[in-house]
């Protein structure tokens, strides 16, 4: 099983207020699933939440989003 890094948009930005982030799979497989973590010291795994809708970040400060597909 080969995991690929999805594209996070917008990437590496600072926002005032809230932000809406979308994840797009880099995989060409039709059944690709994106899994992600927010502000975690550990990378996403096969048991991390499945991305189904844009992620809305509403708290100020720095946040880290990591994803695999």
- Taking only the tens place, the pLDDT of each residue in 7-64 is 888 876 666 678 889 999 887 778 889 999 998 889 999 999 999 999 998 877 778 8
CA distances from 39 to 11, 43, 59, 66, 67 (A): 15, 10, 12, 8, 11
Q: What is residue 3's predicted lDDT score, i.e. its pLDDT?
A: 65
DSSP track, 6-59: PEEES-S---SS-EEEEEE-----TT---EEEES-SSPP-TTSPBP-S-EEE-S
């Amino acid at each position: 099983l080969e995991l690929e890094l999805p594209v996070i948009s917008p990437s590496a930005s600072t926002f005032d207020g809230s932000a809406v982030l979308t994840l797009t799979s880099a995989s060409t497989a039709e059944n690709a699933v994106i899994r992600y973590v927010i502000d975690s010291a550990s990378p996403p795994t096969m048991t991390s939440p499945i991305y189904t809708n844009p992620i809305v970040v509403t708290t100020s400060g720095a946040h880290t989003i990591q994803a695999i597909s």
